[in-house]
Amino acid sequence: MLQVYLVRHGETEWNAARRIQGQSDSPLTAKGLYQARQVAERVRNEGITHVITSDLGRTRHTAQIIADACGCEVINEPRLRELHMGVLEERILDGLTEQEEVWRKQMVDGSPQGRIPEGETMTELAARMRAALDSCLDLPEGSKPLLVSHGIALGCLISTILGLPAYAERRLRLRNCSLSRVDHQQSAWLASGWIVETAGDVSHLELPALDELQR
């Protein structure tokens, strides 16, 4: 059985400001750095062999803190990037026009072909996230990788493992530096392949953590 840990990056300045990030970027806040150290402590003794991260700054910084604790190198994986949110990237959530809010909601309300202009669909996101996860099957036997990615991206990945379409209504909250785990296994009482062991665990965090747009 292959166990793969999934971590969302620590809080960023734009998370706190309710600014849409997508594949744009902003630095971790002091709280985000603290969250990264806490999740690093949580997994320090789990036997992590590979820390694989989205190549955006907020995930790479989070990943480096975890890798230092686990004695691993950081491996960049662009397929773990956040959903590309097109023309809405860098925009303040509360400043969106009525039409822009329609585009944004299509990414979370179950619209099959929802796409922000110049951005990705959830189906496109799901395809690259699953490809990144499946590539872990090629790691040496006995590996225990940890992937650092983003809230929408990880939520989409976990939801599709559970059998939901990529564009299904979003009902899984993954807060900053939450920890999830998926396993690839064969079982008489579970479907073969990837299964969800845990999702969105924040028991290691001392302070409340944000979801993507929550205050």
Active-site residue, 9 included: yes
Q: Pick the catalytic residue: 77, 82, 120, 212?
A: 82
- Residue 200 counted as an annotated binding residue: no
Q: Pick the catalytic residue: 9, 50, 61, 150?
A: 9
- Residue 21 counted as an annotated binding residue: yes
Active-site residue, 90 included: no
- Residue 215 counted as an annotated binding residue: no
- Residue 60 counted as an annotated binding residue: yes
The residues facing 184 across adjacent strands are 2, 194
- Residue 9 counted as an annotated binding residue: yes
Instruction: Write down the residue that tokens 């925009």 correspond to.
Output: 91
- Residue 151 counted as an annotated binding residue: yes
- Residue 82 counted as an annotated binding residue: yes
Amino acid at the residue 68: D
- Residue 152 counted as an annotated binding residue: yes
Residues annotated catalytic, as ranges: 9, 82
| Residue ranges of the binding site for substrate | 8-15, 21-22, 58, 60, 82-85, 151-152
| Residue ranges of the binding site | 8-15, 21-22, 58, 60, 82-85, 151-152
